Amino acid sequence: MRRIAVATLAVVFVAAACGGDHDAAEFAGEVVTVRDNTFSPVTLEIEPGATVQWVNEGRNEHDIIPVDKYGEFGVEKEDFAPGDTYEFTFDDPGVYEYWCTLHGTETDGMIGSVIVGDAEATTDSTAPGEEAGDATTLRVPDDFPTIQAAHDASTPGGLVLIEPGVYNEAVTVTKRDLVIRGLDRDETILDGEFTLDNGFKVLADGVAIENITAQNYAGNGFFWTGVTGYRGSYLTALRNGDYGIYAFDSVQGQFDHSYAAGSPDGGYYIGQCDPCNAVITDVIAEWNGLGYSGTNAGGDLFIVNSTWRNNRAGIVPNSGTGEALYPQHDAVMIGNIVSSNNNDGTAAIDIAETVLGNGILLAGGNNNVVERNLVYDHDIAGIGIIPLPEKILNPDNENAVNFDARNNVVRANVLRDNRAGDLMLVTTLDDATDAGGNCFADNDYTTSIPATIPVCDAAPAAFETDLAWLVEFLGGAKPEGADYREVVLPDPGEQPEMPDAATAPARPANSGVPITIDLDAIEVPTR
Protein backbone atom coordinates (compact mmCIF):
# COMPACT_ATOMS: atom_id res chain seq x y z
CA MET A 1 0.00 0.00 0.00
CA ARG A 2 1.08 3.55 -0.68
CA ARG A 3 2.29 5.67 2.19
CA ILE A 4 2.62 9.43 2.30
CA ALA A 5 3.63 12.10 4.75
CA VAL A 6 1.15 13.00 7.47
CA ALA A 7 1.22 16.61 6.28
CA THR A 8 -0.62 15.56 3.17
CA LEU A 9 -3.75 15.28 5.31
CA ALA A 10 -4.03 19.06 5.09
CA VAL A 11 -5.60 18.47 1.72
CA VAL A 12 -8.19 16.24 3.29
CA PHE A 13 -9.35 18.40 6.10
CA VAL A 14 -8.72 21.94 4.89
CA ALA A 15 -12.43 22.47 4.37
CA ALA A 16 -13.06 21.51 7.98
CA ALA A 17 -11.06 24.37 9.46
CA CYS A 18 -13.42 26.75 11.21
CA GLY A 19 -12.95 30.50 11.41
CA GLY A 20 -10.65 32.80 9.51
CA ASP A 21 -7.22 34.19 10.21
CA HIS A 22 -6.73 36.67 13.02
CA ASP A 23 -3.89 38.50 14.64
CA ALA A 24 -4.39 37.29 18.22
CA ALA A 25 -0.85 35.92 18.33
CA GLU A 26 0.51 39.42 17.61
CA PHE A 27 -1.78 41.19 20.09
CA ALA A 28 -0.02 42.27 23.27
CA GLY A 29 -3.07 42.80 25.50
CA GLU A 30 -5.54 40.47 27.18
CA VAL A 31 -7.41 38.03 24.94
CA VAL A 32 -10.85 36.47 25.44
CA THR A 33 -11.45 33.41 23.30
CA VAL A 34 -15.00 33.20 22.01
CA ARG A 35 -16.17 29.71 21.18
CA ASP A 36 -19.66 28.51 20.52
CA ASN A 37 -21.59 29.16 23.76
CA THR A 38 -18.64 30.30 25.90
CA PHE A 39 -16.38 33.26 26.62
CA SER A 40 -13.01 32.18 28.03
CA PRO A 41 -12.11 33.42 30.53
CA VAL A 42 -15.59 34.28 31.76
CA THR A 43 -14.18 36.95 34.09
CA LEU A 44 -11.13 39.02 33.19
CA GLU A 45 -9.35 41.44 35.56
CA ILE A 46 -7.35 44.33 34.05
CA GLU A 47 -5.98 47.75 34.95
CA PRO A 48 -7.50 50.98 33.60
CA GLY A 49 -6.21 51.80 30.14
CA ALA A 50 -5.75 48.17 29.11
CA THR A 51 -7.12 46.84 25.84
CA VAL A 52 -8.97 43.55 25.53
CA GLN A 53 -9.31 41.59 22.31
CA TRP A 54 -12.10 39.08 21.70
CA VAL A 55 -11.37 36.41 19.08
CA ASN A 56 -14.22 34.40 17.58
CA GLU A 57 -12.78 30.89 17.27
CA GLY A 58 -16.20 29.27 17.08
CA ARG A 59 -18.18 28.16 14.07
CA ASN A 60 -20.99 30.69 14.50
CA GLU A 61 -21.60 34.41 14.64
CA HIS A 62 -21.68 35.89 18.13
CA ASP A 63 -22.28 39.34 19.53
CA ILE A 64 -20.98 41.14 22.62
CA ILE A 65 -23.65 43.25 24.24
CA PRO A 66 -23.19 45.26 27.47
CA VAL A 67 -25.68 44.50 30.22
CA ASP A 68 -26.28 48.09 31.28
CA LYS A 69 -24.81 51.56 31.00
CA TYR A 70 -21.66 50.99 28.97
CA GLY A 71 -23.28 51.68 25.63
CA GLU A 72 -20.06 52.34 23.74
CA PHE A 73 -18.79 48.82 24.45
CA GLY A 74 -19.62 45.79 22.31
CA VAL A 75 -19.98 44.46 18.79
CA GLU A 76 -22.94 43.27 16.69
CA LYS A 77 -23.06 39.79 15.18
CA GLU A 78 -22.67 41.18 11.63
CA ASP A 79 -19.15 42.30 12.59
CA PHE A 80 -18.15 39.26 14.65
CA ALA A 81 -18.27 36.21 12.41
CA PRO A 82 -15.94 33.20 12.83
CA GLY A 83 -12.35 34.42 12.59
CA ASP A 84 -13.19 38.05 13.44
CA THR A 85 -11.70 40.01 16.30
CA TYR A 86 -13.02 42.89 18.38
CA GLU A 87 -10.99 45.22 20.62
CA PHE A 88 -11.95 47.73 23.28
CA THR A 89 -9.84 49.87 25.60
CA PHE A 90 -11.24 50.18 29.13
CA ASP A 91 -10.16 53.54 30.56
CA ASP A 92 -12.57 53.85 33.47
CA PRO A 93 -12.65 51.55 36.53
CA GLY A 94 -15.74 49.42 36.91
CA VAL A 95 -17.33 46.08 36.16
CA TYR A 96 -18.30 45.66 32.52
CA GLU A 97 -20.75 42.78 32.23
CA TYR A 98 -21.76 41.51 28.82
CA TRP A 99 -23.52 38.67 27.05
CA CYS A 100 -24.11 37.08 23.67
CA THR A 101 -27.75 37.58 22.79
CA LEU A 102 -27.66 34.58 20.45
CA HIS A 103 -26.58 32.10 23.11
CA GLY A 104 -27.61 33.49 26.47
CA THR A 105 -29.49 36.06 28.51
CA GLU A 106 -28.13 38.83 30.69
CA THR A 107 -27.72 36.35 33.56
CA ASP A 108 -27.51 32.89 31.97
CA GLY A 109 -25.68 31.06 29.25
CA MET A 110 -22.98 32.84 27.28
CA ILE A 111 -22.03 35.71 29.61
CA GLY A 112 -18.82 37.40 30.73
CA SER A 113 -17.36 40.35 32.58
CA VAL A 114 -14.32 42.59 32.56
CA ILE A 115 -13.25 43.97 35.94
CA VAL A 116 -11.29 47.19 35.52
CA GLY A 117 -9.28 48.40 38.49
CA ASP A 118 -10.44 47.95 42.07
CA ALA A 119 -13.97 46.69 41.46
CA GLU A 120 -15.95 43.58 42.32
CA ALA A 121 -17.75 41.32 39.83
CA THR A 122 -21.41 40.54 40.11
CA THR A 123 -21.78 38.34 37.04
CA ASP A 124 -22.77 34.78 37.86
CA SER A 125 -23.26 32.10 35.25
CA THR A 126 -26.15 30.71 37.23
CA ALA A 127 -29.22 32.81 37.85
CA PRO A 128 -30.86 32.68 41.28
CA GLY A 129 -33.16 29.69 41.49
CA GLU A 130 -36.88 30.02 41.94
CA GLU A 131 -38.82 28.06 44.46
CA ALA A 132 -41.31 25.72 42.88
CA GLY A 133 -44.86 26.87 43.43
CA ASP A 134 -48.09 25.10 42.63
CA ALA A 135 -47.82 23.54 39.18
CA THR A 136 -50.12 25.39 36.85
CA THR A 137 -51.28 24.98 33.26
CA LEU A 138 -51.02 28.10 31.14
CA ARG A 139 -52.60 28.12 27.68
CA VAL A 140 -51.50 29.90 24.53
CA PRO A 141 -53.25 31.87 23.13
CA ASP A 142 -56.29 31.50 25.44
CA ASP A 143 -54.52 32.75 28.58
CA PHE A 144 -51.48 34.46 27.02
CA PRO A 145 -50.99 35.73 23.46
CA THR A 146 -47.43 34.41 23.12
CA ILE A 147 -45.42 31.44 24.31
CA GLN A 148 -42.85 33.77 25.87
CA ALA A 149 -45.54 35.53 27.88
CA ALA A 150 -46.89 32.22 29.17
CA HIS A 151 -43.37 31.14 30.11
CA ASP A 152 -42.73 34.39 31.95
CA ALA A 153 -45.89 33.92 34.01
CA SER A 154 -45.22 30.25 34.78
CA THR A 155 -43.81 28.68 37.92
CA PRO A 156 -41.25 25.86 37.99
CA GLY A 157 -42.98 22.55 37.42
CA GLY A 158 -45.76 24.13 35.38
CA LEU A 159 -47.13 23.24 31.97
CA VAL A 160 -47.48 25.54 28.96
CA LEU A 161 -49.99 24.19 26.45
CA ILE A 162 -49.92 25.70 22.96
CA GLU A 163 -52.84 25.55 20.56
CA PRO A 164 -52.22 24.88 16.85
CA GLY A 165 -51.09 27.95 14.98
CA VAL A 166 -47.99 29.70 13.66
CA TYR A 167 -45.99 31.61 16.26
CA ASN A 168 -43.32 34.01 15.00
CA GLU A 169 -41.26 34.23 18.14
CA ALA A 170 -37.99 33.12 19.69
CA VAL A 171 -38.60 31.76 23.18
CA THR A 172 -35.98 31.95 25.94
CA VAL A 173 -36.66 29.51 28.78
CA THR A 174 -35.31 30.34 32.23
CA LYS A 175 -37.92 28.61 34.43
CA ARG A 176 -36.67 25.26 35.66
CA ASP A 177 -38.68 22.03 35.50
CA LEU A 178 -41.06 23.52 32.98
CA VAL A 179 -42.90 21.48 30.34
CA ILE A 180 -43.80 23.21 27.07
CA ARG A 181 -46.11 21.22 24.82
CA GLY A 182 -47.93 21.71 21.56
CA LEU A 183 -51.40 20.26 21.13
CA ASP A 184 -50.70 19.24 17.52
CA ARG A 185 -47.13 18.46 16.51
CA ASP A 186 -47.56 19.26 12.82
CA GLU A 187 -49.76 22.32 13.35
CA THR A 188 -48.18 23.95 16.42
CA ILE A 189 -45.38 25.73 14.58
CA LEU A 190 -42.73 28.20 15.66
CA ASP A 191 -41.46 29.99 12.56
CA GLY A 192 -38.39 32.22 12.73
CA GLU A 193 -38.92 33.60 9.21
CA PHE A 194 -35.12 33.33 8.75
CA THR A 195 -34.57 36.34 11.01
CA LEU A 196 -34.98 35.02 14.58
CA ASP A 197 -32.10 33.06 16.11
CA ASN A 198 -33.57 30.10 18.00
CA GLY A 199 -37.03 28.60 18.28
CA PHE A 200 -36.42 27.63 21.89
CA LYS A 201 -33.27 28.55 23.84
CA VAL A 202 -33.33 26.71 27.16
CA LEU A 203 -31.12 27.96 30.00
CA ALA A 204 -32.82 26.22 32.92
CA ASP A 205 -32.56 22.71 34.35
CA GLY A 206 -35.22 20.07 33.91
CA VAL A 207 -37.07 21.58 30.93
CA ALA A 208 -38.99 19.32 28.55
CA ILE A 209 -40.35 20.44 25.17
CA GLU A 210 -42.89 18.24 23.43
CA ASN A 211 -45.02 17.92 20.29
CA ILE A 212 -43.92 21.09 18.46
CA THR A 213 -42.41 22.08 15.10
CA ALA A 214 -39.68 24.74 14.88
CA GLN A 215 -38.68 25.92 11.43
CA ASN A 216 -36.86 28.65 9.51
CA TYR A 217 -34.61 29.89 12.34
CA ALA A 218 -31.25 31.49 11.65
CA GLY A 219 -29.72 29.44 14.46
CA ASN A 220 -31.31 26.38 16.00
CA GLY A 221 -34.76 24.91 16.23
CA PHE A 222 -34.49 23.59 19.80
CA PHE A 223 -31.45 24.49 21.90
CA TRP A 224 -30.51 23.52 25.48
CA THR A 225 -27.26 24.95 26.87
CA GLY A 226 -25.55 24.62 30.24
CA VAL A 227 -28.32 22.60 31.90
CA THR A 228 -28.77 19.45 33.94
CA GLY A 229 -31.84 17.54 32.84
CA TYR A 230 -33.39 18.08 29.42
CA ARG A 231 -35.79 16.28 27.12
CA GLY A 232 -37.08 16.87 23.60
CA SER A 233 -39.90 14.52 22.58
CA TYR A 234 -42.05 14.43 19.43
CA LEU A 235 -40.25 17.42 17.96
CA THR A 236 -39.92 18.43 14.31
CA ALA A 237 -37.06 20.73 13.26
CA LEU A 238 -37.10 21.98 9.68
CA ARG A 239 -34.72 24.22 7.76
CA ASN A 240 -32.82 25.83 10.63
CA GLY A 241 -29.51 27.58 9.96
CA ASP A 242 -27.26 25.76 12.41
CA TYR A 243 -28.66 22.70 14.24
CA GLY A 244 -32.10 21.21 14.38
CA ILE A 245 -32.22 19.74 17.91
CA TYR A 246 -29.21 20.71 19.98
CA ALA A 247 -27.81 20.21 23.50
CA PHE A 248 -24.53 21.87 24.49
CA ASP A 249 -22.64 21.68 27.77
CA SER A 250 -25.65 19.82 29.14
CA VAL A 251 -26.08 16.47 30.86
CA GLN A 252 -28.81 14.02 31.77
CA GLY A 253 -30.87 14.37 28.64
CA GLN A 254 -32.92 12.66 25.99
CA PHE A 255 -34.13 13.23 22.42
CA ASP A 256 -36.84 10.85 21.24
CA HIS A 257 -39.59 10.40 18.63
CA SER A 258 -38.31 13.37 16.66
CA TYR A 259 -37.53 14.43 13.09
CA ALA A 260 -34.87 16.86 11.86
CA ALA A 261 -34.18 18.02 8.31
CA GLY A 262 -32.54 20.91 6.49
CA SER A 263 -29.79 22.01 8.90
CA PRO A 264 -26.30 22.79 7.50
CA ASP A 265 -24.64 21.29 10.56
CA GLY A 266 -26.26 18.44 12.52
CA GLY A 267 -29.90 17.53 12.53
CA TYR A 268 -29.08 16.40 16.08
CA TYR A 269 -26.14 17.51 18.20
CA ILE A 270 -24.95 16.72 21.70
CA GLY A 271 -21.64 18.41 22.49
CA GLN A 272 -19.18 19.21 25.29
CA CYS A 273 -20.32 16.81 27.99
CA ASP A 274 -18.52 14.16 30.04
CA PRO A 275 -20.25 12.06 31.13
CA CYS A 276 -23.19 13.12 29.01
CA ASN A 277 -25.66 10.60 30.45
CA ALA A 278 -27.83 11.09 27.37
CA VAL A 279 -29.89 9.08 24.90
CA ILE A 280 -31.02 9.68 21.33
CA THR A 281 -33.63 7.11 20.33
CA ASP A 282 -36.35 6.66 17.72
CA VAL A 283 -35.43 9.73 15.69
CA ILE A 284 -35.05 10.44 11.97
CA ALA A 285 -32.49 12.75 10.39
CA GLU A 286 -32.46 13.49 6.67
CA TRP A 287 -31.33 16.26 4.33
CA ASN A 288 -28.91 17.77 6.85
CA GLY A 289 -25.20 18.41 6.48
CA LEU A 290 -24.68 15.75 9.16
CA GLY A 291 -27.37 13.56 10.64
CA TYR A 292 -25.66 13.60 14.03
CA SER A 293 -22.62 15.61 15.02
CA GLY A 294 -21.21 15.53 18.53
CA THR A 295 -17.97 17.32 19.43
CA ASN A 296 -16.29 16.18 22.64
CA ALA A 297 -19.39 14.34 23.82
CA GLY A 298 -19.20 10.99 25.54
CA GLY A 299 -19.67 8.92 28.62
CA ASP A 300 -23.04 7.16 28.91
CA LEU A 301 -24.05 8.58 25.51
CA PHE A 302 -26.29 6.26 23.48
CA ILE A 303 -27.47 6.77 19.90
CA VAL A 304 -29.85 3.92 19.22
CA ASN A 305 -32.78 2.61 17.19
CA SER A 306 -32.87 5.58 14.80
CA THR A 307 -32.73 6.36 11.08
CA TRP A 308 -30.02 8.50 9.46
CA ARG A 309 -30.59 8.82 5.72
CA ASN A 310 -29.95 11.15 2.80
CA ASN A 311 -27.70 13.53 4.72
CA ARG A 312 -24.23 14.40 3.44
CA ALA A 313 -22.89 12.12 6.16
CA GLY A 314 -24.75 10.08 8.74
CA ILE A 315 -23.38 9.84 12.31
CA VAL A 316 -20.16 11.80 12.96
CA PRO A 317 -18.86 11.99 16.56
CA ASN A 318 -15.69 14.09 16.59
CA SER A 319 -12.99 15.75 18.68
CA GLY A 320 -11.91 19.38 18.59
CA THR A 321 -10.33 22.10 20.72
CA GLY A 322 -13.05 24.54 19.69
CA GLU A 323 -15.04 23.15 22.61
CA ALA A 324 -13.96 21.91 26.03
CA LEU A 325 -13.64 18.32 27.29
CA TYR A 326 -11.77 16.93 24.32
CA PRO A 327 -11.22 14.31 23.05
CA GLN A 328 -14.57 12.79 22.19
CA HIS A 329 -14.99 9.34 23.72
CA ASP A 330 -17.31 6.58 24.91
CA ALA A 331 -20.35 6.96 22.69
CA VAL A 332 -22.41 3.89 21.81
CA MET A 333 -24.19 3.55 18.46
CA ILE A 334 -26.44 0.48 18.26
CA GLY A 335 -29.43 -0.58 16.20
CA ASN A 336 -29.45 2.30 13.72
CA ILE A 337 -30.31 2.31 10.02
CA VAL A 338 -27.71 4.47 8.26
CA SER A 339 -28.26 4.74 4.52
CA SER A 340 -27.60 6.79 1.38
CA ASN A 341 -25.74 9.63 3.05
CA ASN A 342 -24.41 10.98 -0.23
CA ASN A 343 -26.77 13.93 -0.59
CA ASP A 344 -24.90 16.84 -2.16
CA GLY A 345 -28.05 18.93 -2.50
CA THR A 346 -28.24 19.86 1.18
CA ALA A 347 -27.05 22.90 3.04
CA ALA A 348 -23.71 22.14 4.68
CA ILE A 349 -21.02 23.56 6.91
CA ASP A 350 -17.45 22.93 5.78
CA ILE A 351 -16.91 19.60 7.54
CA ALA A 352 -20.19 18.27 6.17
CA GLU A 353 -18.97 19.11 2.67
CA THR A 354 -15.69 17.31 3.35
CA VAL A 355 -17.11 14.04 4.67
CA LEU A 356 -19.83 13.68 2.04
CA GLY A 357 -20.61 10.04 1.28
CA ASN A 358 -19.96 8.34 4.64
CA GLY A 359 -22.30 6.47 6.95
CA ILE A 360 -20.80 6.37 10.46
CA LEU A 361 -17.51 8.25 10.79
CA LEU A 362 -15.52 8.39 14.03
CA ALA A 363 -13.29 11.46 13.62
CA GLY A 364 -10.54 11.58 16.22
CA GLY A 365 -12.61 9.93 18.97
CA ASN A 366 -11.74 7.20 21.47
CA ASN A 367 -13.38 4.15 23.03
CA ASN A 368 -16.57 4.32 20.98
CA VAL A 369 -18.71 1.27 20.22
CA VAL A 370 -20.45 0.85 16.84
CA GLU A 371 -22.51 -2.31 16.96
CA ARG A 372 -25.48 -4.02 15.29
CA ASN A 373 -26.22 -1.23 12.82
CA LEU A 374 -27.43 -1.63 9.23
CA VAL A 375 -25.26 0.60 7.02
CA TYR A 376 -25.67 0.69 3.25
CA ASP A 377 -25.41 2.71 0.03
CA HIS A 378 -22.54 5.13 0.61
CA ASP A 379 -20.11 6.46 -1.96
CA ILE A 380 -17.15 6.21 0.41
CA ALA A 381 -17.24 4.28 3.69
CA GLY A 382 -20.00 2.54 5.53
CA ILE A 383 -18.24 2.76 8.91
CA GLY A 384 -14.95 4.64 9.10
CA ILE A 385 -12.40 5.54 11.75
CA ILE A 386 -10.20 8.53 10.83
CA PRO A 387 -7.97 11.15 12.50
CA LEU A 388 -8.73 14.83 12.96
CA PRO A 389 -5.34 16.62 12.78
CA GLU A 390 -5.95 20.15 14.03
CA LYS A 391 -2.26 21.10 14.00
CA ILE A 392 -2.25 20.56 10.28
CA LEU A 393 -5.48 22.45 9.86
CA ASN A 394 -4.44 25.41 12.00
CA PRO A 395 -0.65 25.53 12.29
CA ASP A 396 -0.76 28.98 13.92
CA ASN A 397 -3.07 27.80 16.70
CA GLU A 398 -0.90 27.05 19.71
CA ASN A 399 -3.75 25.10 21.31
CA ALA A 400 -4.36 22.80 18.34
CA VAL A 401 -4.17 19.05 18.90
CA ASN A 402 -3.78 16.22 16.42
CA PHE A 403 -6.55 13.83 17.38
CA ASP A 404 -6.06 10.27 16.31
CA ALA A 405 -8.83 7.77 16.87
CA ARG A 406 -8.03 5.07 19.42
CA ASN A 407 -9.58 1.98 20.96
CA ASN A 408 -12.84 2.08 19.00
CA VAL A 409 -14.75 -1.16 18.51
CA VAL A 410 -16.83 -1.90 15.38
CA ARG A 411 -18.73 -5.13 15.85
CA ALA A 412 -21.61 -7.18 14.41
CA ASN A 413 -22.77 -4.61 11.88
CA VAL A 414 -24.32 -5.43 8.52
CA LEU A 415 -22.83 -3.42 5.66
CA ARG A 416 -23.85 -3.41 2.00
CA ASP A 417 -22.94 -1.43 -1.11
CA ASN A 418 -20.52 1.05 0.42
CA ARG A 419 -18.51 1.70 -2.70
CA ALA A 420 -15.02 2.55 -1.49
CA GLY A 421 -15.14 0.27 1.53
CA ASP A 422 -17.71 -1.12 3.91
CA LEU A 423 -15.19 -0.65 6.71
CA MET A 424 -12.33 1.86 6.91
CA LEU A 425 -9.48 2.58 9.31
CA VAL A 426 -6.87 5.32 8.80
CA THR A 427 -4.45 6.55 11.45
CA THR A 428 -1.73 9.21 11.64
CA LEU A 429 0.26 7.52 14.37
CA ASP A 430 4.03 7.77 14.06
CA ASP A 431 4.11 4.06 13.35
CA ALA A 432 1.69 3.56 10.49
CA THR A 433 1.47 -0.13 11.34
CA ASP A 434 -0.07 0.75 14.71
CA ALA A 435 -3.86 0.45 14.60
CA GLY A 436 -4.24 2.55 17.74
CA GLY A 437 -6.23 -0.14 19.55
CA ASN A 438 -9.09 0.13 17.04
CA CYS A 439 -10.57 -3.21 16.04
CA PHE A 440 -13.38 -4.95 14.14
CA ALA A 441 -15.26 -8.15 14.87
CA ASP A 442 -18.14 -10.23 13.50
CA ASN A 443 -19.20 -7.69 10.87
CA ASP A 444 -21.09 -8.85 7.79
CA TYR A 445 -19.22 -6.96 5.05
CA THR A 446 -17.47 -7.32 1.71
CA THR A 447 -14.68 -4.74 1.43
CA SER A 448 -12.41 -2.75 3.70
CA ILE A 449 -9.77 -0.01 3.54
CA PRO A 450 -7.09 -1.30 4.03
CA ALA A 451 -7.72 -4.86 2.88
CA THR A 452 -6.47 -6.21 6.21
CA ILE A 453 -8.00 -4.64 9.32
CA PRO A 454 -7.31 -5.45 12.98
CA VAL A 455 -9.55 -8.07 14.57
CA CYS A 456 -10.75 -7.64 18.15
CA ASP A 457 -9.38 -10.11 20.69
CA ALA A 458 -6.98 -11.55 18.14
CA ALA A 459 -3.22 -11.60 18.16
CA PRO A 460 -1.74 -8.44 16.61
CA ALA A 461 -1.42 -8.79 12.85
CA ALA A 462 0.15 -6.72 10.13
CA PHE A 463 -1.66 -3.45 9.58
CA GLU A 464 -0.54 -0.59 7.39
CA THR A 465 -2.62 2.57 7.14
CA ASP A 466 -3.21 4.12 3.75
CA LEU A 467 -3.15 7.88 4.06
CA ALA A 468 -2.98 8.22 0.29
CA TRP A 469 -6.38 6.61 0.05
CA LEU A 470 -7.81 9.10 2.52
CA VAL A 471 -6.43 12.02 0.54
CA GLU A 472 -7.79 10.60 -2.68
CA PHE A 473 -11.32 9.93 -1.50
CA LEU A 474 -11.86 12.68 1.08
CA GLY A 475 -9.46 15.34 -0.10
CA GLY A 476 -10.95 16.10 -3.48
CA ALA A 477 -13.30 18.92 -4.34
CA LYS A 478 -16.83 18.47 -3.02
CA PRO A 479 -20.05 20.24 -3.98
CA GLU A 480 -20.60 23.32 -1.86
CA GLY A 481 -23.48 23.44 0.55
CA ALA A 482 -26.66 25.09 -0.62
CA ASP A 483 -28.32 28.02 1.14
CA TYR A 484 -30.41 26.36 3.83
CA ARG A 485 -33.20 28.88 3.20
CA GLU A 486 -33.60 27.73 -0.38
CA VAL A 487 -33.29 23.95 -0.19
CA VAL A 488 -36.51 22.19 -1.12
CA LEU A 489 -36.95 19.51 1.54
CA PRO A 490 -38.95 16.32 1.14
CA ASP A 491 -42.40 16.33 2.68
CA PRO A 492 -41.96 14.53 6.00
CA GLY A 493 -45.63 13.64 6.07
CA GLU A 494 -47.67 13.53 9.23
CA GLN A 495 -45.38 12.90 12.18
CA PRO A 496 -46.36 10.75 15.18
CA GLU A 497 -48.23 12.75 17.79
CA MET A 498 -47.50 12.67 21.48
CA PRO A 499 -50.19 10.48 23.06
CA ASP A 500 -52.84 12.39 25.00
CA ALA A 501 -51.13 15.73 24.51
CA ALA A 502 -54.15 17.63 25.83
CA THR A 503 -54.46 15.66 29.05
CA ALA A 504 -51.12 14.01 29.86
CA PRO A 505 -49.62 15.32 33.10
CA ALA A 506 -46.49 17.44 32.95
CA ARG A 507 -43.34 15.34 33.16
CA PRO A 508 -40.32 17.62 33.63
CA ALA A 509 -36.84 16.39 32.81
CA ASN A 510 -35.79 16.41 36.46
CA SER A 511 -36.14 12.64 36.96
CA GLY A 512 -36.33 9.53 34.83
CA VAL A 513 -34.15 11.13 32.16
CA PRO A 514 -32.66 9.59 30.19
CA ILE A 515 -34.57 6.35 29.87
CA THR A 516 -32.65 3.12 30.38
CA ILE A 517 -31.91 1.31 27.12
CA ASP A 518 -31.71 -2.50 27.09
CA LEU A 519 -28.77 -2.68 24.71
CA ASP A 520 -28.66 -6.48 24.70
CA ALA A 521 -32.20 -6.63 23.32
CA ILE A 522 -31.39 -4.53 20.23
CA GLU A 523 -31.06 -6.48 17.01
CA VAL A 524 -29.60 -5.43 13.67
CA PRO A 525 -32.41 -3.63 11.80
CA THR A 526 -33.71 -4.89 8.48
CA ARG A 527 -34.33 -2.73 5.45
Classify the C-alpha dihedral 255-256-260-264 as positive or negative.
Answer: positive
Q: Under a CB-based contact definition with an 8 Å cutoff, are residues 258 and 234 in contact?
A: yes
Residue 345: pLDDT above 60? yes
- Domains, in order of start, for the chain: 28-116 (2.60.40.420), 132-261 (2.160.20.10), 285-496 (no CATH)
CA 175 to CA 299: how far, in whole Å?
Answer: 27
Decide: helix, strand or coil at residue 115: strand
| pLDDT at residue 128, as a whole number | 32
Burial of 106 (0-12, 13-18, 19+ CB in 10 A): middle
Dihedral angle computed from the Cα positions of residues 333, 336, 341 and 343, in that order, rounded to the nearest 10 degrees: -120
| pLDDT at residue 463, as a whole number | 76
CB count within 10 Å of CB 268 equals 30
Tell me the pLDDT tens digit for each residue of 220-267: 999 999 999 999 999 999 999 999 999 999 999 999 999 999 999 999
Average the pLDDT over 147-171 and give the result: 96
Beta-bridged to residue 255, according to DSSP, are 232, 280
Tell me the pLDDT tens digit for each residue of 454-488: 999 887 766 777 777 777 766 678 899 999 999 99
CA 145 to CA 498: how far, in whole Å?
Answer: 23
| pLDDT at residue 512, as a whole number | 93
Percent of the chain scoring above 70 in pLDDT: 88
Tell me the pLDDT tens digit for each residue of 359-410: 999 999 999 999 999 999 999 999 999 998 777 766 777 788 889 999 999 9
| pLDDT at residue 32, as a whole number | 86
Q: Under a CB-based contact definition with an 8 Å cutoff, are residues 350 and 18 in contact?
A: yes
